[in-house]
Amino acid sequence: MSAQVRAVAGSGVPLLAVEGLAKVYPTGKKALGGVDVVIDRPQLVAVIGSSGAGKSTFIRCINRLVEPTAGSVRLNGEDIVALDRKGLRAARRRIGMIFQEYNLVERLSVMQNLLSGRLGYVGLFAALRYRFPPEDIQAAFALLDRVGLDGYHDQRADALSGGQRQRVGIARALMQRPELLLLDEPTASLDPKTSRQIMRLVRELVAERQTPAIINIHDVALARAHADRIIGMKDGLIVFDAEASALTDAALTRIYGEEDWSRPQDADDEPAPAAAAPGSLSLIS
* CB 99, min distance to ligand ADP, A: 12
Strands (E) across the chain are located at: 16-24, 30-39, 44-48, 70-75, 78-79, 95-99, 180-184, 213-216, 229-234, 237-243
| CB-based contact 199:187 (threshold 8 Å) | yes
Contacts with Mg ion in 18-47 (CB under 5 A)?
A: none
Give CA separation, 265 vs 163, 219, 220, in Å.
20, 7, 9
Q: Which of 101, 219, 228, 269 lies at the binding interface for Mg ion (CB under 5 A)? A: 269
* CB 57, min distance to ligand ADP, A: 3
Q: Which of 13, 19, 51, 158 lies at the binding interface for ligand ADP (CB under 6 A)? A: 51
Nearer to Mg ion, 55 or 172 (CB): 55
Site string for ligand ADP, 6-25 (x = CB under 6 A): -------------------x
Pick the closest to residue 274 from 34, 72, 60 (CA basis): 60
| CB-based contact 229:241 (threshold 8 Å) | yes
Residue 69 as a binder of ligand ADP (CB under 6 A): the answer is no
The interface partner of residue 59, options being ligand ADP, Mg ion, none and the CB cut-off 5 to 8 Å by kind, is none
| CB-based contact 42:62 (threshold 8 Å) | no
Site string for ligand ADP, 250-269 (x = CB under 6 A): -------------------x
| Strand 70-75 versus strand 16-24 pairing type | antiparallel
The one-letter amino acid code at 76 reads N
The interface partner of residue 12, options being Mg ion, ligand ADP, none and the CB cut-off 5 to 8 Å by kind, is none
Nearer to ligand ADP, 52 or 77 (CB): 52
Interface residues with ligand ADP (CB under 6 A) are: 25, 27, 29, 31, 49, 51-57, 269, 272-274
Chain contacts with Mg ion (rule: CB under 5 A): 55-56, 269
